[in-house]
Structure 1
Amino acid sequence: MLERKFLILNKLVTVIMPVYNEKKQWIVESVNSIIKQTYANIEFIIICDSTDNQLKSFLQEISKKGDNIKIIFNPRNLGLVNSLNRGINLATGEFIARMDADDVSLPERIETEVKCINAEKVDLVFSEVNVINESGKLVSSIDKKNNLNEIQLNELFRYGNVSKHPTWLGRSELFKELMYRNVSYTEDMDFLLRGLQEGKKFF
């Protein structure tokens, strides 16, 4: 049993984070929150979609924080969807996790999600979020946990997107099969609906 648990928690997770014009302080906080995860086996791909040379130099310095950090510079501004798809194509992990450069992950996020996706035998998991302001002060928090089953999720998705994109962790083959499409402002919802149409399971 311990050996099986070790094998589950030793699978490579690729974290994909696009960067465009976020504040440097936010980028540092986001990167640090991934570096300090309780889950050890992480490949961290940061895609720079800016031509700003100062930002590029800044990200090169950021990459020195860990051997597992890879900075990918787009040749020109490709937009969020193309940047995400580029990250997916480069990902080598068994799982892919989404991250945004203006968000912060709790230290146990990846470990909790890997345990969950294996326990529930689903293709993708996501969670609620605590909301913070620009200074990092808590604005609102989730004080209770409600797990939603497949039927409940399918019903809710008829009315809107109930998932928070930067909390996603899914199987690599799911991302590589679906990829993102250029649907203005709703590429994540489009991804989920196409997944449900293909019989994929979310939790």
Structure 2
Amino acid sequence: MNFSLLMSIYYKEKVKYFNRAMESIWDEQTVKPDEIVLVQDGKLTDELYYAIDEWKNKLVGILKIIPLKENLGLGDALNIGMEHCSYELIARMDTDDISLPNRFEKQLNVFKNGNIDICSSWISEFNGDENENLGYRRLPEMHEEIIKYAKIRSPINHPAVMYKKSFVLKAGGYKRMIYFEDYYLWVRMILNKSRFYNLQEVLVKMRAGQGQIERRSGLNYAKNEFILLNEFRKNGFFNSSFEYLRNIIKIPIRFLPKMVIRIIYYFIRKL
């Protein structure tokens, strides 16, 4: 089965992280992408341009560069990138994460053998050393369990996802929902009857750290989380007031000291 790999990069990315990500999705994979679509989300640094040119020379006919004049943000950049993907199956990858060598092979087998429209996996998190695991984000396996899980938190690990392009477009693609573009998309795909599956093993190592905690705390994050939850209630994803309130009561956690949030987050990942 042919598939595209879709990524977006912006000026804050580190060259060594980008190169490591590219090695993991090309040099080390048992099954390689038929094309790699890389969206340059605004102007980049000279170092990043140089690294991208090196990979473009190595992957002639494989690496497709989509330059954007201005930084639009991840959701809009991915929508534009999807327009340039040649195949129905699209794998996602962040330019600072690491895919395990059999990631694509295992996900393609899911699509070959089942009536599935979107497939992800567990992820492990690391900070400096990719071999030092900080914790896991485990997700339920089967479609019905995934829908229940989505009532509480995002049911798909975005950096490890592979999906059918037509089903993402049917749900409206990525829409502006600050911090939650992926979660918002998964729920709209659920409402549009897409079939979900999560492989019960780690296929991607995700780079975590202090910045992740910073993004998930404070007034701005809480405000946008509130907007998301109200959208879920409006579009009928929450079937009762209980489902809505169960999520609303989590919002005050965003105002706790960052050290406390870090401890909570670490405990959840270790469970």
**Shared topology, TM-score over 0.5?**
yes
Question: Does structure 1 conserve the Cα–Cα contact (< 8 Å) formed by 2:139 and 2:156?
Answer: no
Counterpart-to-counterpart distance in 2, 1:41 and 1:96: 9
Aligned residues: 191
1:25 maps to amino acid = K
User: Which residue of 71, 75, 86 maps to 1:81?
Assistant: 75
1:165 is aligned to: 158
2:144 is aligned to: 151
Structure 1 position 146, deviation (Å): 7.6
Kindly indicate whether structure 1 or structure 2 has the higher relative contact order, using CA contacts under 8 Å at least 6 residues apart: 1
Does the alignment pair 1:50 with 2:39? no
Counterpart-to-counterpart distance in 2, 1:48 and 1:146: 31
Does the alignment pair 1:176 with 2:166? no
Displaced runs of 4 or more, over 4 A:
none
2:268 is aligned to: none
Unaligned runs of 5+ in 1: 1-10
Counterpart-to-counterpart distance in 1, 2:166 and 2:139: 27
Partner-residue secondary structure (3-state), 1:176: helix
Aligned identity (percent) is 25
* CA deviation profile, 1:80-104 (whole Å, cap 9, x unmatched): 1111001111101120010001100
Partner-residue secondary structure (3-state), 1:87: helix
Which structure has more helix as a fraction of its residues? 2
> What is the TM-score of this pair, normalised by structure 1?
0.87
Counterpart-to-counterpart distance in 2, 1:202 and 1:117: 11
Q: Tell me: CA distance 1:159–1:146, structure 2 relative to 1, closer, same or farther (3 Å).
A: closer
Structure 1 position 58, deviation (Å): 2.8
Which has the larger displacement, 128-137 or 165-174?
128-137
Question: Does structure 1 conserve the Cα–Cα contact (< 8 Å) formed by 2:13 and 2:95?
Answer: yes
Unaligned runs of 5+ in 2: 198-271
Question: Does structure 1 conserve the Cα–Cα contact (< 8 Å) formed by 2:92 and 2:160?
Answer: yes
Counterpart-to-counterpart distance in 2, 1:193 and 1:169: 16
